[in-house]
């Protein structure tokens, strides 16, 4: 949630995007395009992201890892909309104010569905 807040902040948004771009640039060893930023945050390990990288732990690497872990349970991804990163849940862009609630609700629904599917 902190990463989304930083990316969509009126005061820190540009600085956060610049820092994220720098992290991705080190990972893929070229200037990243907007879709590269979204692929990085989604945890992509294909193409340029398959390269081994000396990632130093920071908010963006932790956000990337968290997204990869969540993707095993719910349909969560990142998209670049008009030069700004946005969180998508089940294909719908989630607004910053309700992102935590939406993620928590989706995880609850996932576990509820699994519990109901278990035999008695």
Is 27 in contact with 8 (CB distance < 8 Å)?
no
Structure confidence at residue 10 (pLDDT): 81
Give 70-111 pLDDT, tens digit per residue: 999 999 999 998 888 999 999 999 988 899 999 999 999 999
Residue 33, helix vs strand vs coil: coil
Rounded to 10 deg, the angle between the 59-71 and 34-42 helix axes is: 60
Mean pLDDT of 49-72: 85
Structure confidence at residue 27 (pLDDT): 87
Structure confidence at residue 46 (pLDDT): 87
Domain ranges of the chain: 2-117
Looking at residue 89, the DSSP 8-state letter turns out to be E
Give 8-45 pLDDT, tens digit per residue: 888 888 899 999 999 999 888 899 998 999 999 998 88
Give 5-15 pLDDT, tens digit per residue: 888 888 888 89
Identify the CA nearest to 63 among candidates 77, 45, 75, 82: 77
């Amino acid at each position: 949630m902190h990463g989304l807040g930083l990316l969509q902040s009126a005061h820190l948004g540009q600085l956060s995007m610049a820092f994220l771009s720098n992290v991705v640039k080190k990972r893929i060893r070229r200037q990243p395009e907007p879709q590269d930023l979204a692929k990085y945050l989604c945890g992509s390990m294909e193409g340029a992201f398959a390269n081994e990288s000396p990632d130093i732990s920071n908010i963006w690497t932790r956000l990337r890892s968290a997204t990869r872990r969540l993707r095993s349970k719910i349909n969560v991804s990142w998209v670049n909309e008009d030069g700004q990163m946005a969180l998508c849940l089940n294909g719908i862009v989630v607004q910053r104010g309700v992102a935590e609630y939406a993620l928590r609700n989706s995880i609850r629904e996932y576990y509820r569905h699994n519990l109901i599917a278990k035999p008695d």
